[in-house]
A and B are shown apart, each in its own frame.
Chain A
Amino acid sequence: MAVLEEPIKGVPLVKNYINGEWVESKGEIKDVVNPAKYETIGKVPISTRDEIDAAVKASQEAFPDWRRTTPVARARYVFRLKNLLEEHFEEVSRVQTQEHGKTIDESRGETRRGTENVEVACGIPTLQMGYNLEDIATGIDEYLIRNPLGVFGIIGPFNFPFMIPLWSAPYAVATGNCVIVKPSSEDPFSQLKIAELVEEAGFPPGVWNVVNGGRVVVTGMLEHPGIQGIAFVGSTPTAKYIYQKCGETGKRVIAQGGAKNFIVVMPDCNVNATITSLMTSFFGNTGQRCLSGANLLIVGDDKFYNSFIEKVADSVSKIVIGYGLDESVQMGPLRDTEKKQRVLGYIDSGIQAGARLMLDGRTFKIRGDYPDTCFLGPSVFEKVTPDMKIAREEIFGPVMSVMRAKSLDEAIDVVNDCDFGNGHAIFTADGKSARQFQYDVVSGNIGINIGIVAPMAFFPFSGMKDSFFGILHTQGKEAVRFFTESKVVIQRWF
């Protein structure tokens, strides 16, 4: 099977995009590494406080004019961006694989999901509409307008370098705000590419900015009085911190954190379809996603359990590992060595806690001639109990922890004992079981015979418990609400 051509050539230096200009940062420079080949593919700056301040200033200056641009005109800018993303679909997908390591199917899926948000934001003339009521008292009318607020900071994670900032940015700018996107410094090229297309789409300077970096940029955003709100996706500790800091500084906030998703399998499920779905759920994106299955909780007797787990293990053992630009590859590497070490630590922890490592991902074969530096095979633990660290903490890697429950009631108790509520799912052929699960499980997103409960762009990406801090969510109508303030007008004419 052919390995697709890489789009990033040489070792380019990523620049910031501020006020419609490509600006070289004065901050220190860090390598961007392709984890499959373990080679440097670019350099990214860790921008300074002055640079984030410059971006905020540019956005503040752009805001009044952008706000006055009519919604239908703003939608046309967004529509041009959508068309450009479609034109560059394959290129931006390959960029993701090259800088992140995910498979090309996963990258194209990410591109589609991200682009769908741009597509939904094209409907802003309808989505941003308020409402009104004539004659709230005799001769007095009342109406609600959704006003943009100003400048927003959007902080993206490494695991979906293209899509996640697009859960927010298109809605923010379509509603008349300006944005500063901070991509993950581990894989900044996807957002760089989007910024190039933003420029090509003709957005006015200062409306859409990209400032690369790390903690300094994040702190700069959190502390800057000119930033009205933050949309963040990342780990739970950071999400909590950002939520608190935004509270202190009076910013509105969407802070999406980590997860530990349970996949409950009932004995009446469609076994073959369920197992296929489990492969994507647990091992898609090499387990580096907040909607990944983490704990497989099987309900049923020994006969069902043994037969089911044998088939699961057989499927897992056949997963093809390698460079995501090889089209035959089903699972790529972890993003970097630090993340691999973290997963290895959890595997050790599971063994020490007494779980049975029925499939050891530490032994694996890579398709193609690539260093094993960031690769890890899929692991399956049996005899995991809910109190074990591997059952409670987010591993963010290709590890399946298998548990058992005697009944659905018991399974739901176990699921609800989890600290996270992001994307729990059930596989069953029984509507009553499905409804009970949907009703009783505390989770922002619920899957019924769906292993990755990723809401479409026109639904909010919800989350509960330690998976989400805030009120309104990214995507769709809730994003429109988040990026606008309700202004209520009551009018009477004498």
Chain B
Amino acid sequence: MGGNDMRLQTASSVISFSRELEGESAKFYEALAEKFAEGKDSFLSFAQENRKYIVQVERAYYGVISDAIEGCFAFDLEPGDYALETTLAESADYSEALGRAVKIEETMVKFYTTAAEQSKSLMADVPRAFMLIVRKRNERLAKLKSL
């Protein structure tokens, strides 16, 4: 008896995982801002937004979590599907960095879309917070592709 070792099944683990992803990608953008002056402002604003998303997700979760809903059984996500590749080779140029950023954002969109889908009937405001981030990230993707 016992579930899959690595899967994210509880709301708490998904919120923590989202916090980790946002933190990792924020650090990635801060590193890019230091390396590439041409995108510095955009990268720093992305990092700042990421931290805002963490607050939004946590606020939604702490606001609606209840002993009566399926918090421990709300999700079934494989964290490996959303691993972010945030290290860039020293020699990487601006275009490679943007390509990596696009991949990160696509992964984040996939994560939040799936998490929203899995929690939509259980967690009230949580999927709405997730989908808001998906919308913002799609806007970011468009911006990254235009840089």
A residues lining the B interface (CB < 8 Å): 1-2, 89, 103-106, 108-110, 112-113, 160, 163, 273, 276-277, 279-280, 284-285, 289, 291, 317-321, 327-331, 359, 361, 363-365, 367, 377-378, 450-454
Knowing A330-B3, A452-B68, the reply to whether A89 touches B62 (Cβ < 8 A) is yes
Whole-angstrom distance between the Cβ of B23 and the nearest chain A Cβ: 13
Which residues of chain B in 2-22 are interfacial with respect to chain A, using CB atoms and an 8 Å cutoff?
2-5, 8-13, 16
Are B70 and A106 closer than 8 Å at their CB atoms?
no
Instruction: Pick from B1, B5, B69: contact of A321, CB below 8 A.
Output: B1
Knowing A113-B67, A276-B122, A321-B2, the reply to whether A330 touches B9 (Cβ < 8 A) is yes
Knowing A89-B62, A280-B73, A327-B12, the reply to whether A320 touches B2 (Cβ < 8 A) is yes
Are B10 and A329 closer than 8 Å at their CB atoms?
yes
Instruction: Pick from A105, A289, A359, A377: contact of B71, CB below 8 A.
Output: A105
Are B68 and A109 closer than 8 Å at their CB atoms?
yes
A sample of 10 cross-chain residue pairs with beta-carbon separation below 8 angstroms, ordered by A number, consists of A104-B10, A109-B65, A112-B64, A277-B70, A317-B1, A327-B13, A364-B1, A364-B2, A365-B1, A378-B1
Per the CB 8 Å criterion, the residue count for chain B at the interface is 27
Are A112 and B73 closer than 8 Å at their CB atoms?
no
Q: Is B87 an interface residue (CB 8 A)?
A: no
Knowing A113-B66, A330-B72, A454-B68, the reply to whether A105 touches B12 (Cβ < 8 A) is yes
A109 to B124, CA, bound (A): 13
Whole-angstrom distance between the Cβ of A58 and the nearest chain B Cβ: 32
Q: With a CB–CB cut-off of 8 A, which chain A residues contact B62?
A: 89, 108, 112
A318 to B121, CA, bound (A): 21
Are B2 and A112 closer than 8 Å at their CB atoms?
no
Are B2 and A106 closer than 8 Å at their CB atoms?
no
Are A327 and B16 closer than 8 Å at their CB atoms?
yes
A273 to B70, CA, bound (A): 10
Between B9, B10, B62, B74, the greatest number of chain A beta carbons within 10 A of the residue's beta carbon is seen for B10
A103 to B71, CA, bound (A): 10
Q: A276-B70, A280-B69 are in contact. List 18 more A-B contacts (CB 8 A).
A: A103-B10, A104-B10, A105-B10, A108-B62, A110-B67, A112-B63, A112-B64, A113-B66, A285-B67, A289-B67, A318-B2, A319-B3, A327-B10, A331-B72, A363-B1, A364-B2, A367-B5, A454-B68
Q: With a CB–CB cut-off of 8 A, which chain A residues contact B64?
A: 112
Question: Residue on B with the closest CB to A105?
Answer: B71
Are B13 and A1 closer than 8 Å at their CB atoms?
yes
Question: Residue on B with the closest CB to A321?
Answer: B2
Are B67 and A276 closer than 8 Å at their CB atoms?
no
Q: With a CB–CB cut-off of 8 A, which chain B residues contact A318?
A: 2-4
A334 to B2, CA, bound (A): 17
Q: With a CB–CB cut-off of 8 A, which chain B residues contact A104?
A: 10, 12
A110 to B64, CA, bound (A): 11
3 closest Cβ contacts across the A-B interface? A109-B67, A105-B71, A454-B68
Are A105 and B1 closer than 8 Å at their CB atoms?
no
Q: With a CB–CB cut-off of 8 A, which chain B residues contact A291?
A: 68
Whole-angstrom distance between the Cβ of A269 and the nearest chain B Cβ: 14
Q: With a CB–CB cut-off of 8 A, which chain B residues contact A454?
A: 66-68
A79 to B123, CA, bound (A): 26
Q: With a CB–CB cut-off of 8 A, which chain A residues contact B2?
A: 318-321, 364-365, 367
Q: With a CB–CB cut-off of 8 A, which chain A residues contact B5?
A: 367
Are A109 and B3 closer than 8 Å at their CB atoms?
no
Whole-angstrom distance between the Cβ of B88 and the nearest chain A Cβ: 27
Between B11, B73, B74, the greatest number of chain A beta carbons within 10 A of the residue's beta carbon is seen for B73
